[in-house]
């Protein structure tokens, strides 16, 4: 087992350059550059690990889809009644971690989380494909499913409701906005001197600093 794990490469042979001296003033600009670049090479570059903390202070994490980067906020969406929604209501801070394996790149953000205006969350919901709207309407995310037939019944009911009420979003569907206080860009390097650049918000402006690998 140990031999197998050690045998797998972590990074591709060819890695992109990362000149930390030639970077934009804001992490948003660099993030969008890296996201576009990843999108040319990686499946689901917009999939991101969202980490939250539960009421006992225990970390939790799961993958979600990035919905938007608007100004200084990174947006994701889920139900306010899901475990992550409940955790964010209690402790409105999160980390987002992108990993683009084919590029040897990681981006880490952390900071406070707010809830988008109700009409923004509703628009997020109505823009979802029909099957995703039904899925969101079913609700009860992460509750124990004792009988799969219960899910079939709930899905049929949700599908009917969505069809009869186009444009209506469940009140629980929520866009969460992460406003990072720091954003770190990490580029693997075969010489093991991985390039790391952190943007830190200081008095409302972004301050850049290199980090030891």
Ligand X SMILES: Cc1cc2nc3c(=O)[nH]c(=O)nc-3n(C[C@H](O)[C@H](O)[C@H](O)COP(=O)(O)O)c2cc1C
Binding residues for FMN are 62-67, 84, 106, 141-142, 186, 196
* Nearest CB to ligand X, comparing residues 37 and 54: 54
Contacts of 162 (CB under 8 A, 6+ apart): 130, 133, 134, 137
What is the closest distance, in whole angstroms, from the C-beta atom of residue 87 to ligand X in the complex? 8
* Nearest CB to ligand X, comparing residues 87 and 187: 87
The SS3 call for residue 23 is: coil
* Nearest CB to ligand X, comparing residues 79 and 187: 79
What is the closest distance, in whole angstroms, from the C-beta atom of residue 48 to ligand X in the complex? 9
E strand or H helix at 44: none
Distance CA 142, CA 149 (A): 16
What is the closest distance, in whole angstroms, from the C-beta atom of residue 120 to ligand X in the complex? 15
* Nearest CB to ligand X, comparing residues 107 and 197: 107
Distance CA 184, CA 199 (A): 6
Q: Which residues bind ligand X (CB under 6 A)?
A: 44, 47, 60, 62-65, 77-78, 82-84, 141-142
Distance CA 153, CA 148 (A): 9
């Amino acid at each position: 087992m140990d031999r197998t794990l050690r045998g797998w490469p972590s990074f591709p042979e060819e890695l992109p350059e990362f000149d930390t001296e030639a970077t934009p003033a804001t992490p948003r600009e660099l993030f969008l550059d890296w996201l576009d670049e990843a999108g040319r090479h990686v499946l689901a570059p917009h999939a991101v690990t969202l980490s939250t903390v539960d009421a006992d202070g225990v970390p939790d994490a799961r993958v979600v889809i990035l919905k938007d980067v608007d100004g200084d906020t990174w947006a994701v969406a889920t139900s306010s009644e899901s475990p992550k929604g409940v955790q964010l209501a209690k402790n409105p801070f999160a980390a987002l971690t992108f990993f683009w394996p084919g590029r040897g790149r990681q981006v880490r953000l952390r900071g406070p989380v707010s809830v988008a205006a109700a009409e923004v969350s509703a628009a997020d919901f109505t823009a979802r494909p029909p099957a995703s709207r039904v899925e969101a309407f079913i609700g009860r995310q992460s509750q124990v499913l004792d009988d799969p037939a219960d899910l079939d019944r709930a899905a049929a009911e949700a599908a009917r409701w969505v069809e009869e009420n186009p444009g209506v979003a469940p009140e629980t569907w929520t866009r969460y906005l992460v406003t990072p206080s720091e954003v770190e860009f990490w580029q693997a390097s075969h010489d093991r001197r991985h390039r790391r650049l952190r943007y830190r918000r200081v008095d409302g402006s972004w301050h850049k600093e290199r980090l030891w690998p």
